[in-house]
Homo-oligomer: A and B are copies of this chain.
Amino acid sequence: MGTGRIEAFTDGVIAIIITIMVLELKVPAGGDLGALGASVPILLAYVFSFVNVGLYWNNHHHLMLATDRIDGRLLWANLFLLFWLSLVPFVIRWHDESAFATGATAAYGIVLGMAAVGYKLTVHAIVACNGPDSPVARAVGRDWKGWGSIGVYLLAVPLAYVSRWAVVALYVGVIAMWLIPDRRIARILAERRP
């Protein structure tokens, strides 16, 4: 089994998640450009989620480029990841309708944390199926980024009740950490180029 169809399905689900979030946003109540001001927080939450989901797509893309074989376990690990990503629009809508309630921000941490777990399970399933010397296994190594993300989101859930800005800083920090290109996977992909 090649990776073609799992990539196509994942692309489809992520494309839908990233696009339907906008369906959830309330348009400004007024008719002037200034009325957009009240929409700024939810639009920023949308930007943040778009970048986050886009980051998962980007990483998934690289992961699959380095994967040769898939099996049933990988299909389910991938579905687990997609399930949690699909809850991102739900949490964004909760923010919008509750005027950024604390509970929504805490729930966002749970959703992103479980998505990080799903990504980890996907990586593990690839390694289990392609062997400990496979490109993904070598690229991921000890996977401090994966563990770090899960840890940060675990911390963010209770922290949402203390300081929203600290939580936002944590979330942005995780994004920054993943935006820095992963040299190992880039080097290993370069080696694989014919």
Contact = CB atoms under 8 A, between A and B. Distances in A.
B15 A98 contact: no
A16 B5 contact: no
With a 10 A CB-CB cut-off, give which of A14, A22, A82 has the most chain B CB atoms: A22
Interface string A3-22: 00101110111111111101
A115 interface: no
Contact of A31 (B22, B51, B102): B102
User: Chain A contact residues: over half helix, strand or loop, or mixed?
Assistant: helix
Interface stretch (A54-62, A116-124, A145-153): A54-62
User: Quick one: which of A11, A34, A76, A82 has the most chain B CB within 10 A?
Assistant: A11
A102 to B, nearest CB: 7
A171 to B, nearest CB: 17
A102 B36 CA distance: 12
Contacts of A47: 83
B18 A86 contact: yes
The size bracket of the interface on A is 35 or more
Given A9-B14, A12-B11, A12-B15, A61 B89 contact: no
A11 B107 CA distance: 29
Interface in A92-124: 93-94, 97-99, 101-104, 106-107
Given A22-B89, A98-B31, A9 B57 contact: yes
A79 interface: yes
In the A-B complex, the 10 residue pairs with the closest CB atoms: A31-B101, A12-B15, A27-B94, A33-B103, A31-B98, A32-B103, A16-B19, A54-B79, A13-B15, A9-B11
15 contacts: A5-B7, A11-B12, A12-B15, A13-B19, A16-B16, A20-B20, A22-B87, A28-B103, A31-B98, A31-B99, A31-B104, A32-B102, A32-B103, A58-B75, A58-B79
